[in-house]
Amino acid sequence: MGQEDLMSTAEDVADQFLRVTKQYLPHLARLCLISTFLEDGIRMWFQWNEQRDYIEATWSCGYFLATCFVLLNLVGQLGGCVLILSRNFVQYACFGLFGIIALQTVAYSILWDLKFLMRNLALGGGLLLLLAESRSEGKSMFAGVPSMGESSPKQYMQLGGRVLLVLMFMTLLHFDASFFSILQNMVGTALIILVAIGFKTKLAALTLVVWLLAINVYFNAFWTIPAYKPMHDFLKYDFFQTTSVIGGLLLVVALGPGGVSMDEKKKEW
């Protein structure tokens, strides 16, 4: 079997998967995407005192402001998740969660940690894709009304979302000389480039979903670590952030790459 035949077979399998899961995929994508916000909002409730004391000690902002920070994170994240899952005011919920990401990036000094910063940006990419999906839903209500270039912002949101999503994979690259690491880096890099430029996008994104799912379950198995150990919380944070990026990739699979992509340009050729 030649390379083209193999690629054609893989695309047929991906198309078949999409046909079977078409009704459920956007819902699953949303659930995965908001999982890290849901987990963090719940953690704010159960670790209220610890989070408040940490912010108060780190920023010397006083008891009241530290309490407001924790309350804002709890209400903002859980409220945003409820709105997104119920498909009400999705755009406002997305903007609210963008704000939470920005706030946490500063408050927890993530700005100076490149790995965590890239993961937060990837999370923002997933929200951009969700924002693009909510725009298309909004327009479908007025299908008979003519529009002049209204889809352009949506297309650039999808492009921005795809590019930001691949930052997650850059944090997973291993720079050592083992054969497995070199192979993983080469395949992973090829796939993230395909997603970023929008070429064979659905197949590449679906392959990344499978790969990332396997890595997540294997490396971030927080349930195997006792809850009192710090590593438990660290792996749990990583697990749900990765799950959110998987949700973003599933949105790419469900919606396609958008107008600013090689797949779309191929149709014009």
Phi, psi of 76 (to 5 degrees): -60, -45
pLDDT digits (tens, 9 = 90+) for 61-78: 999 999 999 999 999 999
Residue pLDDT, tens place only, 211-224: 889 888 988 999 99
Q: Are 132 and 258 in contact (CB under 8 A)?
A: yes
In angstroms, the CA 172 to CA 246 distance is 14
Cβ(153)–Cβ(131) below 8 Å: no
Q: What is the pTM of this model?
A: 0.84
In contact, 135 and 157? CB cutoff 8 Å? yes
Q: Tell me the per-residue pLDDT of 69-113, one tens digit each, with 9 for 90 and over.
A: 999 999 999 999 999 999 999 999 999 999 999 999 999 888 788
Split at pLDDT 50, 70, 90, the class of 143 is very low
Contact predicate 250/32, CB 8 Å: yes
Residues belonging to the chain: 269
- What's the farthest any 2 CA atoms get from each other in the chain? 68
